[in-house]
Chains A and B, each alone.
Chain A
């Protein structure tokens, strides 16, 4: 319980960070970033075995995380900085010229914590499959995590990867679907109805779990349950129901905040709902 409270406090600070970062450059994706904050905090501050101070590309003996929906970079950068991968002050350079914090994550600027470029959607799950196979070849028993957006899985490559992962029995891979039901042009239901999402992954022979992706306690329990189901020949997916814009009342439940920045007044209103817990950067 104490732990959950701490994680919730970190998540509030991450939400403040990402809103301030996006506001400062009048550019970025607040909606999805707010929705996935609880998962990223749970992974990096509770679940994952990792070594932020000594980042190396291979991450041998560590858990790896891939953000396939790279447009949610602001949340990831904040979580990486807050967990010690790079100085928190560097968050102020998000999307600026000469920054390591590119609009979408990249290895090109050698930012600790990033292992592949993402942004063009649909590619991260394949990369995660490869990294998980490399762990098996190296007798490395740690996990590979990958987060995909629910809009993102409209991409065909996701289903190529889904097919491949089960055929090759990649059972050290845990994927998350950020199921907020929204994408740029509207609701997923209106744009390209996914229908029967759970049954699709089941039909692809994945172990499927579901949870509320904005409830840290439930996330921890579900991921632990996923660990129990690992190593049994099937890849695991956690479909997590989230709220786009979670934590800021006027941003919640709409696709309108997918890719626009809050203005001065909106930022002030948003921050008033998110108490500074760790100190702003």
Chain B
């Protein structure tokens, strides 16, 4: 049986970033790009090839790349600085804190290969703390997109937004199911299913897993309100609280540590405004390891089945 959402192909979100950046290269002459020796991995080659004067190879020197990006804004440029998520955050936290966030510079930090789905390279490269690090910084907008189409539209949208942005995406090919023509609205949760039994909030690669979970839950008579939380910060408090008021139970799903991520920010607002039972599909205080993306997502409990189990658990607590 066909579900509500379908897809014709799987594509990597980083390619959506590359396509969005290339589009910006054609339409906005102030957009410039920097990369720390990962141009191919970040899919920035097309931009580099066709706009060489606006592309800056920073080499394996991320701290300088972030500072240089901050400096480029002085003179009206809109820099997109790309590298792996771990090197784009943890390695350069103080540079981002002082030269970008505190200085409120119009820098777009573009972070690929986030989370466990980076795969075989293992824990050194699989950052699961980046959303937390970035959302703790005042002035910073934090975006985590779910598929190719959305990453492309988000990349284009953040160029229009004045201020620092952390844009998180990933390595593997995942179902490309969102509408390519839909405008990306920063800070607005995207409702994918409507239901009154439970609220499911998902971000990044977990959104498709949550879509599949919703289809499975419908078959057993459970109707979920599912939101794609593509913008972690600013968090769409109104949409989430409206849903929580209706359902009285929340499950969050993310490829991130439970500390600092989507569960964290949801719990903050739910606890302050409308306490209800909550369950988390996330990584619980562990580093990752080598493996295929799929093996890792299974081992660390970030699949559709884990979302279904979390829903059943939270519904028991609700009663």
Contact = CB atoms under 8 A, between A and B. Distances in A.
Interface stretch (A3-11, A118-126, A225-233, A270-278): A118-126
Interface string A135-166: 10110100000000000000011001101100
A168 B79 CA distance: 16
Contacts of A125: 67
B35 to A, nearest CB: 13
Contacts of B70: 116, 126-127, 130
B259 interface: no
Given A106-B103, A123-B98, A163-B61, A115 B74 contact: yes
A117 B103 CA distance: 5
B102 A126 contact: no
Interface centre among A60, A117, A132 (most CB of B within 10 A): A117
B75 A140 contact: yes
A182 B168 CA distance: 42
A140 B79 CA distance: 18
Nearest to A156: B63
29 contacts: A58-B76, A107-B102, A108-B102, A116-B71, A116-B99, A117-B103, A120-B94, A120-B98, A123-B94, A126-B71, A126-B95, A127-B67, A127-B74, A128-B71, A129-B67, A130-B72, A130-B74, A132-B71, A137-B54, A138-B75, A156-B63, A157-B63, A160-B59, A160-B64, A161-B64, A161-B67, A163-B61, A164-B61, A167-B59
B71 A137 contact: no
Interface string B122-151: 000000000000000000000000000000
A236 interface: no
Interface residues of B, number: 32
Nearest to A59: B74
B67 A126 contact: yes
Nearest to A155: B63
Give the 9 A-B CB pairs with smallest separation, nearest first. A130-B71, A126-B67, A134-B75, A160-B64, A160-B61, A127-B71, A130-B68, A130-B72, A131-B71
A131 B74 contact: yes
A137 B76 CA distance: 10
Contact of B75 (A60, A126, A163): A60
Nearest to B107: A130
Nearest to A108: B102
Nearest to B54: A137
A239 interface: no
B61 A130 contact: no
A64 interface: yes
A59 B102 CA distance: 20
